[in-house]
Chain A
Amino acid sequence: GAVVSQHPSRVICKSGTSVKIECRSLDFQATTMFWYRQFPKKSLMLMATSNEGSKATYEQGVEKDKFLINHASLTLSTLTVTSAHPEDSSFYICSFWPGLAGGGTDTQYFGPGTRLTVL
């Protein structure tokens, strides 16, 4: 099956610092990818949708200047949490959607997630 990696898997940082999370698809290309956030005992919440080469579309309530998304290529996207605060502590998950072209399916392929803890 399709493989998506995320790095780092776990990060602890001080309040006010910036953290970059990398999401990479290892064996397929996708123009569309998503970033989700999951708080303990809560649903995964979509933060933003990005298409390669375009600006990301952020969901309501998600600050675009705080969560910077760079969809650099068809296999790589990064999420930078700028000036992180304790309330940003969460589990961040990315996913790639190859789309329906070429016999693809509706399935998104998820990364293993990154646990961010801001002290």
Chain B
Amino acid sequence: KQEVTQIPAALSVPEGENLVLNCSFTDSAIYNLQWFRQDPGKGLTSLLLIQSSQREQTSGRLNASLDKSSGRSTLYIAASQPGDSATYLCAVTGGSEKLVFGKGTKLTVNP
């Protein structure tokens, strides 16, 4: 059974700092990996999707990497801003469209 772990559970940084969020998964036979953002009491917004054959994806200040063989992914946020404050979720699919989520990392960026 696939399990997804995110470290740290919470992170607080000053504005402008670069930061890394970590995600690991137990079964390396994934189809793709996604990073989502969830604001309090809200739904999910997809940030980046990495296919299993890819190593990284970039969107603006966000960069996600994937090391499928070791079961790890990182989300790098450059020059963090208070508006980046949210919970970031990592999720994998294993060949079907079903997503298996981690518990998330709650990020607070302080002005």
Interface residues of A (CB under 8 A from B): 4, 6, 32, 34, 41-46, 49, 91, 93, 95, 97, 105-113, 115
A106-B104 CB under 8 A given contacts A4-B43, A6-B43, A113-B41? no
Dominant secondary structure at the A interface:
strand
Question: Which 7 residue pairs of A and B lie closest in terms of their CB atoms, listed nearest first?
Answer: A110-B44, A110-B43, A112-B43, A43-B101, A44-B101, A43-B103, A113-B43
Q: Which of A4, A32, A41, A45 makes the CB contact (< 8 A) with B97?
A: A32
Known: A43-B101, A108-B97, A109-B46. 17 other contacts (CB 8 A): A32-B97, A42-B103, A43-B4, A43-B102, A44-B44, A46-B98, A49-B98, A97-B97, A106-B32, A106-B51, A106-B93, A110-B36, A110-B43, A110-B45, A111-B43, A112-B43, A113-B41
Chain B, interface size: which category? 20 to 34
Q: Which residues of B contact A (CB under 8 A)?
A: 4, 31-32, 34, 36, 41-46, 49, 51, 89, 91, 93, 97-104
Taking CB atoms, residues of chain B closer than 8 Å to A107 are 34, 46, 49
Closest to B97 in A: A97
Nearest chain A residue, comparing its CB with the CB of B39 = A112
Taking the closest CB of chain A, its distance from the CB of B53, in whole angstroms, is 13
A43 to B99, CA, bound (A): 11
A66 to B89, CA, bound (A): 28
Contact residues in A for B51 (Cβ distance below 8 Å): 106
Report which of A32, A108, A109 forms a contact with B99, defined as CB distance below 8 A. Answer: A108
Cβ-defined contact, B97 with A105, below 8 A: no
Kindly state the separation between the CA atoms of A109 and B45 in the bound complex, as whole angstroms: 8
